[in-house]
Amino acid sequence: LEQRVHVRATRRAPRTSKGKMAASWRSVEVMETIWYCSFVATLRERTWALLRKHTNVREDEFPNIRRSRSGSFGEHLAKSAHGTWEEVTFYYGMACKLARKVGFGWKWLQKFLQLMLYAFLMLPGFLYMVGFYFTSKRVERNIPYRKMARNRLDLYLPRVRREEGKSPVVIFVTGGAWVIGYKGWGAGIGKLLSNQGFIVACLDYRNYPQGCVPDMLEDVMEGINWTFRNAACYGGDPNKIYLVGQSAGAHLTSLALIKQGERVKKGVDVDWEPHHLQGYVGVSGPYNITQIVEHFNQRGLYSTLFLHLMTGIDRKNGYASVALEGVSPECLVRAGALDGVKLPPYFCLMHGTADITVPSSQAVSFAETLMEQKVDTKLIKLQLIEGKTHTDFMINDPMRGDPDEVIEEVVEMAYGKEARKLVVAPAGLLPRWLVALASAVCPF
């Protein structure tokens, strides 16, 4: 606007004295400003009217955005842009803080370059999902579940409501090595499950170094609380809620079940109990942290950093195994944490045999421990998928159009085995050879 005003003022102003030039400048500036403000105000109101008419967007869906009395779309857009910039600067600061903690060793540099190459090869598919995430009317983003940093979730609403009434709800917690997790990573599973009639809540939570695992666990549990309290407000059935976690998300969600069971045994007033969930699916998760420290150390997540990430304890030499047992679901179950606790009726652990990030032995050992302890659940199911890698379930399979075992498992839990047979594989977004090439360079 300033450039346009300057050009017009220069063109219109007579080349006489400086006073006439300044007067002409001020008059043109005032006219331009009046015209611009009038145009923007009209555009704001008309855009907001169109949104109210043709979408399900409401002003009360943005409680974190401070608006003027008019509550116009332009003001909302400006505040959103300001919030986005604040979020970008926040993540930049966290990245710098993380870099100072871990340094720039060759392993981290190698993983970073591999990740960039993997993202470049998968870029066309990722761009499609980004477009869906930001433009779909079925996605309600950045709903706060608590007034703390990153305590927000995305809701994916079903394409078609089922005739029998309210929709079943899936709570999904993403992975990301406790460091790069983000709720937007759940766009793929959110889209696929919402196509099957589910409401999907993808939780965000604090990542390291903003918080350690106890902080992340607190966030996840609060997000589950919010879903139980508010599912009905969005057309969900609070009696049909399922919990799904992938990688670090599987670790945190299994911990959440155990910690909530301990609260119930202590007589704490809670919003939900583990058996209120109708099913649980843990995908590619680490469940015994004490046995995987050296594995992560060799892959670049060094033991001293790993200890601090898991427990918040600083120790320069070695790690405290006793402290790590407190954040290991398998160790807690062996110690009797689930004695007398009713779990979800269906408890499924899913893992790929070709997973090099988290060995499939983690799922095998955890399932055996649950069976040995005779936990109170109807079914403990272990699925070892031959040849699947760490990223196949959530990224690679949907990109190439292969059947998604996670989607099928959740559909079976909700609607039965016959419904599982009716699940159609998603349309592939990328050629199979390109996904295979990207998978070969993926660091996970």
As annotated, the active-site residues are 247, 355, 390
Closest CA to 175 of 243, 250, 114, 112: 250
**3-class SS of residue 21:** helix
25-30-36-41 Cα dihedral, nearest 10 degrees: 170
**3-class SS of residue 72:** coil
The tokens 């079976």 sit on which residue? 412
The whole-angstrom separation of Cα 436 and Cα 267 is: 51
The whole-angstrom separation of Cα 170 and Cα 240 is: 9
SS3 letters across 167-183: EEEEEEECCCCCCCCCH
Closest CA to 145 of 259, 228, 212, 211: 228
330-336-339-343 Cα dihedral, nearest 10 degrees: -10
